[in-house]
Amino acid sequence: MTATVHVDLPGREYDIHIGPGLLDQAGPYVAAFGGRKHICIITDETVAVLHLAQLQAGLTAAGLTSEALALPAGEATKCWAQLEKSVEWLLSQKVERGDVVIAFGGGVIGDLAGFAAAIMRRGVRFVQIPTTLLAQVDSSVGGKTGINSPMGKNLIGAFHQPSLVLADTALLGTLTARDFLAGYGEVVKYGMLGDAAFFDWLETQGPALAAGDMDARIRAVTRSCEMKADIVRRDEKENGDRALLNLGHTFGHALEAATGYSDRLLHGEGVAIGCALAFELSARLGLCSQEDPSRVRAHLRDMGMKVDMADIAGDLPDAAGLLALMGQDKKVLDGKLRFVLARGIGDAFMTSDVPSDVVLSVLDDALALKKSRG
């Protein structure tokens, strides 16, 4: 079974195909774009070992030759040095304006290879073949590409939409449970921000989905992509509604910065804890009932995910230190913190009107809980 979501951007529209076995069909999809019959693939060393031979065999069967550049796995690869290496490699492969480059990996590879494609010869087409749940439901869709700066994450980049996304859900089977659940943090975010019925469904189907139920996985990736495609269609460049996708990210980015963007806290884990904190803040501001943050936390707990700051190993800065880290987030506008808050599950909105003493009280209580648990 394969599902398709269309991203309806005039002049830059594309399909996202979702289902098991799509990797084997990449050849015909890519060949249909025309261009040279030589395809450049940018991937990472982990994905290359697991899946590259399968991708290249499919391309060969469709009459395409291919060459791959495998970069080190991990966030540190999203840097100037690896971008330069990628662009120079694509040039050495004589990639032309009409060619297609494949980004084959998780969010790091999608962002880096997409950015390389954006600036190569002022823009060549690229196909995203995301291999992680996080990349399938979020980073491969919507055209945000880029690298990190020593000044902060994702500060250098461009909007460059892919020409196609192939989300092969069978590839999720090789993820560690931790990486899968980190990606699930972004899935559940969609329910919390705009689809209460999807959140209800995840509450009942989430455990089966995590255990490997393929139909549930396809449905979760498809609904997530539909919601993202709809938001991106309305607001491609994040002048408005697209910022709703940042639910949980203001708190989450501060926690990621506080833990040095390390293995102590994966991005999706930071988002999940951040969503719980955003709902707690919303309840304290009287925007939603206290039941909503409790329900969010209960579901994350049922899934075996990190829910509280207490679930992050090691020390964290105090509340004022965390608030200062939030101030460094890209989402600051005119010096004011912008939060995505919620009037209930499935009803998020943006606001800059949040008293910092209430934010500090939420952080203080979360840190006190962490201290009490030792």
Residues binding ligand GLY (CB under 6 A): 138, 142, 144, 242, 245
Q: Nearer Cβ to ligand GLY, position 51 or 160?
A: 160
State the DSSP H helix or E strand holding residue 292, giving kind and residue range, or none if neither: helix 291-302
301 catalytic? Reply is: no
Q: What is the DSSP letter of 245?
A: G
Q: Nearer Cβ to ligand GLY, position 235 or 364?
A: 235
Closest residue to ligand GLY using C-beta atoms: 245
State the DSSP H helix or E strand holding residue 39, giving kind and residue range, or none if neither: strand 38-44
Of the candidates 189, 219, 253, 295, the residue annotated as catalytic is 253
Q: Nearer Cβ to ligand GLY, position 144 or 297?
A: 144
253 catalytic? Reply is: yes
Given a contact cutoff of 8 angstroms between Cβ atoms, the answer to whether 22 and 168 are in contact is yes
Of the candidates 78, 249, 295, 297, the residue annotated as catalytic is 249
Minimum gap (Å) between residue 138 Cβ and ligand GLY: 5
Q: Nearer Cβ to ligand GLY, position 44 or 111?
A: 111
144 catalytic? Reply is: yes
88 catalytic? Reply is: no
Number of Cβ atoms within 10 Å of the Cβ of 349: 16
CA distance 373 to 189: 27
78 catalytic? Reply is: no
Of the candidates 148, 217, 223, 246, the residue annotated as catalytic is 246
DSSP states of 15-83: EEEEETTGGGGHHHHHHTT-S-SEEEEEEEHHHIIIIIHHHHHHHHHTT-EEEEEEEPSSGGGSSHHHH
Q: Beta partners for 351?
A: 339
Helices then strands, counting H and E runs in the chain, come out as 14, 11
186 catalytic? Reply is: yes
Q: What SS3 state is found at 19?
A: strand
Minimum gap (Å) between residue 234 Cβ and ligand GLY: 12
Minimum gap (Å) between residue 289 Cβ and ligand GLY: 27
Minimum gap (Å) between residue 142 Cβ and ligand GLY: 4
Minimum gap (Å) between residue 175 Cβ and ligand GLY: 19
Indicate which residues carry an active-site annotation: 122, 144, 186, 228, 238, 242, 246, 249, 253, 267
